Chains A and B, each alone.
Chain A
């Protein structure tokens, strides 16, 4: 009978348990946090989210270099790697030799199609960054945070930067903002002009919100001005209307009000301790310990090294991936390298290598670039497996050359003499001979931009702006997949929209020619 009572008690107890259990359906994570929990735990949390937004241009994911924010390969897909692949390997100065599917087609500017995963990587990275920004903007109004306006300005700058690359690389997309954040129906396609106007107004607004100076790696007024100047500089390509005057106005603000100065040593801008360089306006930060990625400068440095012909440790690296070499389209700009006084001409590894890139897949054909290195310039340092060299996305020499270009193109309010001085400041810093005013021509500008800025992720944009990228007027080794270069169609001024994007949003139309 006691057993019987126990049994009945158990039944009644079981009924009570049911009632008590149903709220267990609201499971609570312990490692992941809601925004409220995060803010309670870390008063600096908003800054941490902003750090993540900046980091979207350098890191692959939240959990080390093997993790990815998106479904793409964490090693191959980070932003900077994509910019080098899309802007430099497709252009005249640099070629990759691995023969990897997708990358090979970029390096030979041939057979581009919507299946190429490298287009998808860039597209996904851009459209990862934008909604992450929108997400923060949409919750900021409910959050108590100091310097809220500045935070909003920074986030709107970061989003503009992502859109800038979308405009440049793919030419169109959707306009995802904090207003339509959370919409599940596919957004309509936004044209290059719509995106251009949006980025323009966003940057103008964020310039007002941003401070004169800000922490390292963070946007200030000059950083936003510089991006705006670049947008205007390419306006003729982007929207068919030249806007040299506006470009000049804003780049002048960067030069005059930014507080930056040329680094006395060219090499120092690309060395492991370049975070102290006075010239860098906006870097993509890398750190050998705390900020690791296969897609930051690690890709540029390790990719350009090979123990076959070089000594890795001389450049602070422990691995050489033997991937990238420059072509004569770059080092040819310096004339005879051995006789050149230009410091920039020293940044090619020639020993054991051939001048001609007869076979782009052969390591010794073409010179590797040693512009970037992981070793420190001002002190000694140990080799590390990941690079700690920051990538100078915007720097003052570029601003000088943009001003000079605007002047050459007769932008309102520019001064050609001043332009010549800016160019010569850049040149004499590297012990190159100064030029005269008459030498300051469009052709000189594109070549000087090559000498100064190649391997900085803008060569393709520059060549397009100067009308040299497509067609047959300017040829370089392996353009169009032939040794001496061949004409490529004008449709190659834009990359194809990746198949995954077309399938995910039926409103998107493929770029013509693909």
Chain B
């Protein structure tokens, strides 16, 4: 690997000297929004037959005289005419025509021209990506596609995106779409320490996404495709001269919306008014704390500070992103692209740093008289993240008493300069109550390091004896090594222990700096697929006929071990916890998937396109008897534009009707029940879970031998259109209906009839209906002035239609933070999945909620579960829209998105929005509460027990409109010879419109608790092509 890197660097450094000078008019033709060179552009001097085309790197040269008009034209792009004024260099940029009719779209096991697509496939290429601060691939797509809802978990640097295409189809099985990078379907399981699997590819390397939405498109991927497929294609090399791109940006992020808790002074008056007997716990005794923070008042010998604990843990963070790439044609034979990238992203919570180094190589040589095409990709990546205890920090900052200082530099303070309250217990000075959240962040280091390679090589061989027959074989490897090492620094609160042999309060304590946890993990996923394609062009009714068949093998192996520590009860020293039954605390999980697939495409009269596919899938998660699933699909596309009655209508550039029907499967329940859910197995108890002395303890794990495929049938009808000059209006409309049967869901087992209380079973059905519209407007398109709008809207409504006799099952991700095990979400027959089952709150005449007052819906004069009703928590409508505007060298773009409907449970009202929350439960620490005076919570709430947490009062409308980004850029041509520079500034997440009273209504599981805020990010960047 090292040698490869060296030769790459050599190439990158010395290649520029190879360029040769020219003396006639020359220049480069590039694509306007991405600056990527366009090969094969036709260049014609108007009125003559003199012309040329650009080479693979967009370069051209032509002999010309002053006053000539040069015309640049290229399929899929708007032509451009320029009068020659005598310069020696002329670089030109062409604007893409909104409808890229000739675009090649990558689909499963092959590719087709966009005009020949039969399924519902959205393509988004680099010009339409989200811009500004983007560090992971999903952020390029957010809000851009109808029916694709991407909800990040929050503002963490590698926050997991929850991607739902058409709402997802399962209840407990994985609902994420299958992601395929350069032909390799990647793992759903993240390496240890990785939040977002898509952060493991440099977004700068991505050329385009194909999003496969309906079953006729996805069925060829079978088993993992029930929730749609996202195919990522990376940028390719060149066959011409060496080209470089350098880009770099710096961004500043900050938190704009904090949780509305009390400040020190309001908290003092609140405690004095509502809990006067606890006023002696406010602040700290005078002169016990040395700190630079100012004391705001002194009450009864206690110094009251005014600390904003949220400010204490948040920071204005600075991030940087730098990429360098080179494209070349190695030895004049091998189109090559190589890139290096570096990202440093600071989270807005202190110490939450993320760093990533990435490299990629792509080579696409053609051999054996163009009979053998090879596509080789290698991506390498190293990332390191300091994982923080989010609950401890974010929850702690809200709960911590604001009258306490952050720091204490007193010589007697044991905790590294951080304030923490203590009390004396016998001869021990023990920690009391809430721990300082900033100390928790600063005193623990938990670097989570991941090295990953994703590599594949594909051979596409056209038989010499029969050129209509191709054999394609693809071998892929996705391997990662992850290492987590948690250490504590000196004087850390978490490692504060006592030596039982010492009774002196001043000396009997100790700290245990150093390693507290270790985990090593290696993931090795191998993919192999091979298929034969026979394609024949016939000049008959059937114009073209193609049939293919193949086999696919995927194996996912996750092997790791942990070192777990414990504290010695006598000495207080940390020592390794030895588990004799599993000495390395190993885990070993394997998933194997194998499939046979076939597909046939038939083109009749260039008007009717037919596709049939079938796939047989086997999953190692099921027993031999239940292992295989069969997933057929078919689709018809009718190219209306080719019909004589439309052909002559000039304003119609394209019109195509698509009808598709197919079945896909789902088996991924590893997140719910692990990798061996169908077999009876025993597991040894850990060293802390032993019982009878001298005997190793073994537990029988729950299993279900009857598990089998969940099946989704989708019917889709869609229309693609493109009207008027320059594609003034273009877009697509799709309607669909999805039925999912044999749902894999975690359900309660009949008591006493399973080895645990819940397990995954095939339990029932859901039915979804929806539609999607993508609409693009291209109203102005002139040489200097361009304006285009894009928009999308998606509607999806899913209903649970059967649960095998049960009326509802709980949704395990809907836990409320009132202790564990209290769930509000249910999947109930006749309702949308993930609906909240709640009581109807009663309000008084002033509009304040009546504590524990609920509407007796069934009128039986008592409030029981029969008075609860369902409210849908996930939104039915999602939308996005954006604008691209350019004037001469200036460009301006913006992208907005949002949802209509959906609910969010304002958990902070539950955990911090009641009066008695402030008083201590098992310590001497007061807890901060929401600011009742500002309306963040209601004084009427005394506690949150019984039916109170199930009040619909806590559910608020989650509709929102968020501005994703605003970008303004300026392009400087020829800043150096042949180099063009773009400078831009952007702001991400500048504003959001919403009626939600909490922090952020965009919440995937609709339970807003300890949410890591999404920052507003300001970015300045440059992009240099040379």
Contact = CB atoms under 8 A, between A and B. Distances in A.
Interface of A: 3-4, 7, 10-11, 14, 17-18, 21-22, 24-35, 38, 42, 44-45, 47-52, 54-55, 58-59, 61-65, 67, 69-73, 76-77, 98-102, 104-105, 111, 113-115, 117, 120-121, 123-124, 127-128, 130-132, 135-136, 173-174, 176, 183-184, 186-187, 215-218, 285, 287-292, 306-308, 311-314, 318, 320-323, 382-385, 499-501, 503-506, 508
A288 B567 CA distance: 11
B698 A101 contact: no
A186 B459 CA distance: 55
Contacts of B696: 42, 44-45, 48, 51
Contacts, number: 314
Nearest to A288: B569
B756 interface: yes
A174 B751 contact: yes
Given A48-B695, A135-B755, A173-B751, A27 B592 contact: yes
Contacts of A65: 688-689
B569 A289 contact: yes
Contacts of B888: none
Contacts of B569: 288-289, 382-385
Contacts of A63: 685-686, 689
Contacts of B551: 14, 18
A69 B750 contact: no
A25 B923 contact: no
Interface string B426-468: 1110101000000000000000000000000001010010000
Contact of B753 (A61, A176, A292, A318): A176
30 contacts: A7-B372, A10-B459, A25-B592, A27-B591, A29-B679, A32-B676, A34-B682, A44-B696, A48-B695, A48-B698, A51-B697, A52-B685, A55-B689, A55-B692, A65-B689, A113-B865, A121-B821, A131-B754, A174-B751, A186-B753, A215-B692, A285-B691, A289-B687, A290-B687, A290-B690, A291-B690, A501-B748, A503-B807, A504-B748, A504-B749
A505 B750 contact: yes
Given A51-B695, A54-B692, A285-B691, 8 more contacts: A14-B530, A27-B675, A31-B586, A32-B701, A121-B821, A173-B751, A216-B693, A287-B690
Interface stretch (B14-22, B398-406, B940-948): B940-948
A307 B430 CA distance: 9
A101 B555 contact: no
A101 B699 CA distance: 31
B367 interface: yes
Q: How large is the interface on B (under 10, 10 to 19, 20 to 34, 35 or more residues)?
A: 35 or more
Interface of B: 367-368, 372, 423-428, 430, 432, 459, 461, 464, 471, 473, 498, 500, 528, 530, 551, 553, 555, 566-567, 569-570, 582, 586-592, 594, 618-620, 624, 627, 675-676, 679-693, 695-701, 706, 747-758, 805-810, 812, 818-822, 864-865, 916, 921-924, 943-947, 949-950
A377 to B, nearest CB: 18
A72 to B, nearest CB: 5
Nearest to B628: A25
Contacts of B471: 7, 11
A32 to B, nearest CB: 4
Contacts of A7: 372, 459, 461, 471
B805 A61 contact: no
A62 B699 contact: yes
Contacts of B916: 99
B806 A504 contact: yes
Residue in A320, A321, A500 whose Cβ sees the most chain B Cβ within 10 Å: A500
A71 B822 CA distance: 11
B621 to A, nearest CB: 8
Nearest to A121: B821
Contacts of A314: 426
B820 A73 contact: yes
A99 B528 contact: no
A21 B747 CA distance: 34
Contacts of A11: 471, 473, 530
B553 A70 contact: no
A292 B470 CA distance: 63
A51 B689 contact: no
B500 A383 contact: yes
Residue in B586, B700, B946 whose Cβ sees the most chain A Cβ within 10 Å: B700
Q: Nearest 3 A-B pairs (CB), nearest first?
A: A55-B691, A176-B752, A382-B500
A76 B676 contact: no
B691 A58 contact: yes
Contacts of A215: 692-693
Contacts of A48: 684, 695-698
Nearest to B589: A29
A29 B757 contact: no
Nearest to B584: A31
B548 to A, nearest CB: 14
B952 to A, nearest CB: 16
B920 to A, nearest CB: 8
B627 A25 contact: yes
Contacts of B692: 47, 50-51, 54-55, 215-218, 285
A3 B372 contact: yes
Contacts of A123: 751
A135 B947 CA distance: 38
A325 to B, nearest CB: 12
A320 B588 CA distance: 39
B697 A31 contact: no
Contacts of B567: 385
B865 A32 contact: no
Contacts of B683: 31-33, 62
B309 to A, nearest CB: 24
Contacts of A128: 755-757
A20 to B, nearest CB: 10
Contacts of A306: 922
Residue in A30, A32, A34, A216 whose Cβ sees the most chain B Cβ within 10 Å: A32
A186 B750 contact: yes
A14 B676 CA distance: 28
A102 B757 CA distance: 20
Residue in A10, A27, A308, A382 whose Cβ sees the most chain B Cβ within 10 Å: A27
A3 B696 CA distance: 59
B95 to A, nearest CB: 42
Given A3-B367, A32-B683, A101-B822, A323 B555 contact: no
Nearest to A514: B864
A31 B753 CA distance: 25
A504 B751 contact: yes
A289 B618 CA distance: 45
Nearest to A130: B752
A284 to B, nearest CB: 9
Given A7-B461, A11-B473, A17-B553, A101 B691 contact: no
Contacts of B755: 128, 131-132, 135
A99 B921 contact: yes
A59 B372 contact: no
A18 B923 CA distance: 64
A312 B425 contact: yes
Residue in B498, B586, B620, B695 whose Cβ sees the most chain A Cβ within 10 Å: B695
A76 B819 contact: yes
Contacts of B821: 71-73, 76-77, 117, 120-121
Nearest to B570: A382
A173 B864 CA distance: 22
A501 B679 CA distance: 25
A407 to B, nearest CB: 36
B805 A506 contact: yes
A102 B945 contact: yes
Contacts of B751: 123-124, 127, 173-174, 176, 501, 504-505, 508
A306 B428 CA distance: 14
A59 to B, nearest CB: 5
Contact of A99 (B530, B582, B697, B943): B943
Contacts of B698: 38, 42, 45, 48-49, 51-52
